[in-house]
Chain A
Amino acid sequence: DTAVSQTPKYLVTQMGNDKSIKCEQNLGHDTMYWYKQDSKKFLKIMFSYNNKELIINETVPNRFSPKSPDKAHLNLHINSLELGDSAVYFCASSRQAETQYFGPGTRLLVL
């Protein structure tokens, strides 16, 4: 009964490809997030959705497009992957602005 789950856990792909990462939470939270952790372990928020509505959209290339089909899911689609997109992507969820619970991460490697 994983609280926040992400698929896939590992993703290796070629430059220029399009890929998606899925996130699901079973905590009944209304807010979900995507974070990027770069090679230096620096964690930065990318997006946040509250009740399926986009509320935080940091300076992220348009190639990244989040989609929230319902409150329990927040997927991240990345078009035209670049070498610099290689990172660990974490999904998180919370109830309003309370404590955020993180998924295990998706390790993306772009070759």
Chain B
Amino acid sequence: AQSVTQLDSHVSVSEGTPVLLRCNYSSSYSPSLFWYVQHPNKGLQLLLKYTSAATLVKGINGFEAEFKKSETSFHLTKPSAHMSDAAEYFCGGGGTSYGKLTFGQGTILTVHP
């Protein structure tokens, strides 16, 4: 069965400092993994997606994530936080042919000036 765990419910950083949002997955087979971002009162926007083509995945707005099978992790990073990055981030995984996604609990990112 597929499950996704986001290790931090809340991450707070200063503008210009690195961002690390952690996600672990468990799966009995090779997963497809995603990161979505949700700004207040908005829908989910896809940041990036891993589908086994490359372990380091680059997304929009300077975000990237690295798939590490040995650690069953897919952490999201950004070298330098911007105020506009403040939002909630969801890690998700899918493993069936029907596109069923399982989401983590979400991580709220706060960016201080």
Contacts and interface: CB of A to CB of B under 8 A. Distances in A.
Is this pair of chains taken from one and the same complex?
A: yes
Interface in B12-49: 32, 34, 36, 41-46, 49
B99 A100 contact: yes
Contact of B96 (A92, A97, A98, A105): A97
A6 B83 CA distance: 29
Nearest to A42: B105
Contacts of B88: 41
A81 to B, nearest CB: 22
A44 interface: yes
A56 interface: yes
The SS class assigned to the A binding surface is: strand
Nearest to B98: A55
A55 B49 CA distance: 23
A43 B101 CA distance: 10
A103 B100 contact: no
B74 interface: no
Contact of A97 (B36, B43, B44, B98): B98
Interface in B94-112: 94, 96-103, 105-106
B44 A45 contact: no
B36 A102 contact: yes
A64 B101 CA distance: 20
Contacts of A107: 41
B106 A42 contact: yes
Contact of A43 (B32, B42, B90, B100): B90
Given A41-B106, A99-B49, A102-B36, A90 B98 contact: no
A96 B71 CA distance: 29
A48 B44 CA distance: 17
Contacts of A48: 98-100
Given A44-B103, A101-B46, 19 more contacts: A4-B43, A31-B99, A41-B106, A42-B103, A42-B106, A45-B102, A50-B98, A55-B98, A56-B98, A56-B100, A90-B43, A94-B99, A97-B94, A97-B96, A97-B99, A98-B99, A99-B49, A104-B43, A105-B42
